[in-house]
Amino acid sequence: MSATGDNQGTSTRPYLLRALHDWCTDNGFTPYIAVHVDASVQVPMEYVKNNEIVLNVGFEATSGLKLGNEFIEFKARFGGVSREIVVPVDHVVAIYARENGQGMAFPMPAEGAPRPGAAAPEPAPARGLRLASTEPPADEPAGDGDEPPPEPAGPGAGRPALKRIK
């Protein structure tokens, strides 16, 4: 317990993200993160759909990857052009292995939540997020990590997808 009597501690999200990233890497899987995009997220907006983007955060697809307690930062190539990516950790709504969909989903960021360094708000209740996985097609090419993963064509399109359930 801290001197202020706050027994909440820091968020577990960055620690869980690092642990699952390590698990993916150690097992030869490709770690992907699903990110809720708003003005505080620095990503190529042309790849954002419905305020979400999925990013390959494997070491082969990134340069200078930093999985910090407040931000995930790295450089990645999109359409052959190197881009600087900055994602607040609280905007990561899932991390999972591309190959089998195993991972963890997190609550959406609270609306109007203070930025890192400000007083922490009460934790938002989970909004019924769960990670739905489907088997990837056997003939799917490995890819070089230059492009973000394509969007699924619909339910059961062969890629892991986030589904909100009420």
* pLDDT for the residue numbered 163: 57
Among candidates 67, 87, 63, which has minimal Cα distance to 75? 63
Asked whether residue 4 is assigned to any structural domain, the reply reads: no
Asked whether residue 5 is assigned to any structural domain, the reply reads: no
CATH number at 111 reads 2.30.30.220
Count of domains observed in the chain = 1
pTM here is: 0.66
Q: What is the pLDDT along the chain (166 residues), one digit of tens a residue?
A: 444 445 777 889 999 999 999 999 999 999 999 999 999 999 999 999 999 999 999 999 999 999 999 999 999 999 999 999 999 999 999 999 999 999 999 999 876 544 444 333 333 333 344 444 434 433 333 334 445 454 444 444 455 555 555 5
DSSP track, 137-148: PTT-----SSSP
Asked whether residue 33 is assigned to any structural domain, the reply reads: yes
Asked whether residue 8 is assigned to any structural domain, the reply reads: no
Number of Cβ within 10 Å of residue 131's Cβ equals 18
Asked whether residue 1 is assigned to any structural domain, the reply reads: no
Asked whether residue 6 is assigned to any structural domain, the reply reads: no
Asked whether residue 67 is assigned to any structural domain, the reply reads: yes
Asked whether residue 3 is assigned to any structural domain, the reply reads: no
**In terms of residue numbers, what domain contains 40?**
13-164
